[in-house]
Amino acid sequence: MPINNALAIIKRGVDELLIEQELIDKLKTGKPLRVKAGFDPTAPDLHLGHTVLLNKLRQFQDLGHQVLFLIGDFTGMIGDPTGKSATRPPLTAEQVKENAKSYSEQVFKILKPEQTEVVFNSAWLNDLGATGMIKLAASQTVARMLERDDFSKRYKGNQPIAIHEFLYPLLQGYDSVALKADVELGGTDQKFNLLMGRELQKQAGQPQQCVLTMPLLEGLDGVNKMSKSLGNYVGVAEPANTIFSKIMSVSDELMWRYINLLSFESLDTIEQWKRNVENGANPRDIKVGFAQEIVTRFHSRAAAEEALNDFNLRAKGGIPEDVPAVAIKLESGIIGIAQLLKQAGLAPSTSEAYRAIEQGGVRIDGEKISDKGLKLGAGVIVAQVGKRKFARITLA
């Protein structure tokens, strides 16, 4: 394939590519490039947000390049060194191993195993020692570090920055040195850290990696970045029906964003879809096609068909097109079904809600609910009481 075509594929959907000419030169060598991307070992539940990056890695593989799937287990085993964050407990080596296995099962739905090297940065960072850490720290200045957007804002806003936060970008950069990466991919929020890899490679006398940032995918709410903790995600390991109905729940506007970042259809095809909708086609049909593409990717064509049928059946069950949206704040991470119905305005009281459940008149996402003790966590659901009362509820 001519370099220009390869470059067009690489650049599709990318936020920024630094430095394009260097990438062209690397591509010209004809050698398989070492393409690095780092993943957090604490959260092996991949969602569509992660797949924006994974898809790009896959495109590199399709062009013949090698993916270095880096699991950041070194800092994962430290956890939150301030001890303040309950969401970042230190992982044991055993947990890292399990999480890595879980990652592999998920990513190889997208990546080609034979062109993927799963690597753990503890392999070289354990040997770094305090001495290596000090030498690494000596390579950069405080002022340079405070150039990073979030550090700069926090420093100016008198928000504390713990000193170890200055060390993490250095470790990430050092990973690129250890791996001799040719390209590193990350979200737009990672740009500073990705560039640190370039600097440290230069100091180490290595060719500098190219840096490629991908946009961050919005969650189902269309506002926040997709994340498990916000509950606004579509997990790649979720059941086909769930993936399908979650995608069907996004707004028509957000749908185009998802299609741009997640669909493997050609840009021409997508442009055609947009024109069709402008000319009066129903965006719902596009959404169905896209939801089927995604379900097929993570399950199978058959599962996608089944999910569509199921979805249509439930739709016939009477969920109207325009369901009022309600947001409920989870005080303790979960909420009981009766409380939920009351707060969503679907039942006048919790006792009325229980009665409705007993009478078989309550459905969540079209499924009849019989368990009065049911608790729900973060997510987006459609709740129904009786024939006519509906709400699309965001629990967060």
Closer of 166 and 354 to a copy of itself (Cβ) = 166
Closer of 167 and 315 to a copy of itself (Cβ) = 167
Of all helices (H) and strands (E), which one includes residue 328?
Answer: strand 325-328
Q: Is the peptide bond before 71 cis (omega within 30 degrees of 0)?
A: no
Residues 6+ apart with CB under 8 A from 101: none
Which amino acid, residue 85?
A: S
Closer of 145 and 362 to a copy of itself (Cβ) = 145
d(CA 149, CA 155): 10
Question: In the complex, what is the shortest distance from the CB of residue 161 to a copy of itself, in angstroms, rounded to a whole number?
Answer: 4
Closer of 171 and 380 to a copy of itself (Cβ) = 171
Residues 6+ apart with CB under 8 A from 13: 52, 56, 214, 215, 260, 261
> What is the binding site for a copy of itself (CB under 8 A)?
74-75, 77-78, 81-82, 125-126, 128-135, 137-143, 145-146, 151, 155, 158, 160-167, 170-171
Q: How far apart are the first and last CA of the chain?
A: 47
Our CA dihedral for 342, 348, 354, 359, rounded to 10 degrees, sits at: -120
What's the half-sphere exposure (Cβ side, CA atoms, 13 Å) at 77?
A: 16
Closer of 114 and 130 to a copy of itself (Cβ) = 130
Question: In the complex, what is the shortest distance from the CB of residue 202 to a copy of itself, in angstroms, rounded to a whole number?
Answer: 15
Question: In the complex, what is the shortest distance from the CB of residue 146 to a copy of itself, in angstroms, rounded to a whole number?
Answer: 8
Question: In the complex, what is the shortest distance from the CB of residue 125 to a copy of itself, in angstroms, rounded to a whole number?
Answer: 6
d(CA 231, CA 226): 8
Question: In the complex, what is the shortest distance from the CB of residue 194 to a copy of itself, in angstroms, rounded to a whole number?
Answer: 18
Smallest Cα–Cα separation from 167: which of 197, 146, 136?
136
Closer of 122 and 208 to a copy of itself (Cβ) = 122
Question: In the complex, what is the shortest distance from the CB of residue 195 to a copy of itself, in angstroms, rounded to a whole number?
Answer: 16
